[in-house]
Amino acid sequence: MNRHHTWAAAAAAALVLSLAACGGSASPPSTQQTAASEVFTYDTTAPVMVDGWDPATEYSDGIIAMSEMYETLTRYDPATHAVGPLLATSWTSADAGRTWTFHLRHGVVFHTGRPMTAQAARAAILRTIKLGGGAAYIWGAVKTIGTPDPYTLVFHLSYASPLALQASADYSAYIYDTQAGGGSALATWLNAGHDAGTGPYTAQTWNKGQEFEVTLKEFPQYWGGWSGPHYGKVVYRVVPQDTTAAQLLRSGQVTFVEQINPSLWSSFKGDSGVTLVSSPSWQNLLGQLNVKRLSLPLRQAISYAIDYQGIIAALQGAGVVSSGIVPPGLFGHFGDLPGYSYDKAKAAALLGQAGYGPGRKPLSLSLTYTQGDSNEQVVATIIKSDLAALNVNLSVQSLAWPTQWAKGKSSDAAQHQDIFMEYWWPDYADPYSWFTNLLQTENPPYFNLSYYSNASLDRMINQVEPLVATDKPAAGQLYRNMQVTILQQAPMLFLYNANYQYAMLSGISGFRVNPAYPNVVFVYSLKP
């Protein structure tokens, strides 16, 4: 480039920089040539759609696509607040929740062509337990699995557990063909972009890191059949820019947009071509406070220093104030817990106890959040602002999730942040996941990135799972006590409970938000 003649280029580049905000997208591939009425295009702003194809270990957004390819024994129904049949048509429990018998659906075939029998389901669950990844802890009580006949599974548990509920989990509960992949290792075969489920759709293409990342096609032998109107193809399209996603929906190039900022979402109001869906979720944004560095008064001070109502105002409908760790609508939620609200004076007094605060020495803290999430960015900016008013200098770092997580769980404590911001949601319709993953003693740390350890809380966590199976009111009371303990000890900030704000093309019926399966659409149930 001739740098002596750059003024015109400079002006053009500045314009380009401004216009870059408009985003852009590649030309659609041939999948878009199919009739629009048959193709359901799911638009996500997440950086990747599927980062692991093994149904035993996937523990992230991959379930959005996997839930179309794989099925579980039961499925949670938000209308009845109970689990309903899926691969299992009925089930019973005996021996005070220590023995569970599931009767399997007949005529179900894996995408590999093999029949789904009790032996195959047993093999899948045993493999998931053996690998121990994802949410494999849901099978933690299982001692043995019997198969008295080809369509009956009998679980013998070492302690009472709500197995029918756990079998509906969004992670590690999928039933798959362990014989898939021929002679090669199953994990290797799966991670090449294959699937071995029983769901209505099967993997057709996987373009890792590409905009059109995953394409699924209908599985002709699906047990539910294909009579009536159904989508024949599902395309997962990764569009990081909210504005581009909104434009794609306006022009009918995508069917469903998973997440756009509240302002853009509201801009569709009055647009007859687009249906807006807003619904409470079981997903909350948390800030895990590093208890190794922050004393109790400091943790409580930070909890009081944050303008929670301000966060809700800035989110413009995308969130509501939290009460404890469990979101509303989920068993274990209590709206009257003694939580924290914005109280600058209390925060200053608590900081003062530790020798910090206005007029004293400054306190420097670090916060990490996941890059690309505009809501997390807004919250981080508000927290920084609130803490700055109390002479606390917060260094905010936005990192790609793998980097953020690696830093948080690093064996080198010097790498650890003071506040780790992340979303959490349950693995099945119960709050157990928050406690066992985020708050139970862990060494080395994995998801407990507060590095919190409380023997009394650990005991309560161990007690609650059997109680859910045998004495639900007692389990509810225990969840309440656990939350009161957490609020007193303040190892984490409860920043807000997320509201789902979806936008989809009008004229599609059958869509129901199921908060037990975050952002999953269940395309088979839709009528185009």
Residues lying near other proteins in the complex (CB under 8 A): 1, 3-7, 10-11, 13-15, 17-18, 20-23, 241-243, 246-247, 260-261, 263-264, 266-267, 307, 310-311, 313-314, 316, 371, 374, 377-378, 380-382, 384-386, 388-389, 396-398
Q: What are the distances in angstroms from CA 3 to CA 6, 9, 16, 246?
A: 5, 9, 18, 38
Give the distance from CA 155 to its chain's centroid. Answer: 28
Residue 465 parent element (H or E): helix 455-470
Shortest Cβ 66–other proteins spacing (Å): 28
User: For residues 307 and 471, which CB has a smaller minimum distance to other proteins in the complex?
Assistant: 307
User: For residues 186 and 260, which CB has a smaller minimum distance to other proteins in the complex?
Assistant: 260
Backbone dihedral region of 18: left (phi > 0), alpha (psi from -120 to 50 degrees) or beta?
Answer: alpha
Shortest Cβ 236–other proteins spacing (Å): 20
Whether the bond into 518 is cis, omega within 30 of 0: no
User: For residues 20 and 94, which CB has a smaller minimum distance to other proteins in the complex?
Assistant: 20
Shortest Cβ 140–other proteins spacing (Å): 41
- Among 340, 376, 344, smallest CA distance to 483 is for 340
User: For residues 96 and 400, which CB has a smaller minimum distance to other proteins in the complex?
Assistant: 400
Rounded Cα–Cα distance for residues 131 and 139 (Å):
12
User: For residues 16 and 192, which CB has a smaller minimum distance to other proteins in the complex?
Assistant: 16
Shortest Cβ 191–other proteins spacing (Å): 28
User: For residues 100 and 356, which CB has a smaller minimum distance to other proteins in the complex?
Assistant: 356
User: For residues 234 and 503, which CB has a smaller minimum distance to other proteins in the complex?
Assistant: 503
Rounded Cα–Cα distance for residues 295 and 291 (Å):
6
User: For residues 259 and 300, which CB has a smaller minimum distance to other proteins in the complex?
Assistant: 259
State the CB neighbour count (10 A cutoff) for residue 81: 11
Between helix 374-388 and helix 308-315 the angle, nearest 10°, is 150
User: For residues 7 and 209, which CB has a smaller minimum distance to other proteins in the complex?
Assistant: 7
User: For residues 314 and 337, which CB has a smaller minimum distance to other proteins in the complex?
Assistant: 314
The secondary structure of 267-310, three-state, reads: CCCCCCCEEEEEEEEEEEEEEEECCCCCCHHHHHHHHHHCCHHH
Shortest Cβ 313–other proteins spacing (Å): 5
User: For residues 167 and 239, which CB has a smaller minimum distance to other proteins in the complex?
Assistant: 239
Can you tell me whether residue 29 is helix, strand or coil?
Answer: coil
Rounded Cα–Cα distance for residues 137 and 466 (Å):
13
Shortest Cβ 327–other proteins spacing (Å): 21
- Among 71, 76, 58, smallest CA distance to 165 is for 76
Shortest Cβ 213–other proteins spacing (Å): 21
Can you tell me whether residue 473 is helix, strand or coil?
Answer: helix
Shortest Cβ 351–other proteins spacing (Å): 16
Rounded Cα–Cα distance for residues 341 and 339 (Å):
7
Shortest Cβ 36–other proteins spacing (Å): 23
Shortest Cβ 367–other proteins spacing (Å): 12
Shortest Cβ 48–other proteins spacing (Å): 18
Helical residues (DSSP H) of 198-261, grouped into ranges = 242-250
For residue 500 the two structure tokens come to 């789902």
Beta carbons within 8 Å of 319's beta carbon, 6+ residues apart: 285, 311, 312, 375, 496, 497, 498, 499
For residue 47 the two structure tokens come to 């950086």
Can you tell me whether residue 404 is helix, strand or coil?
Answer: helix
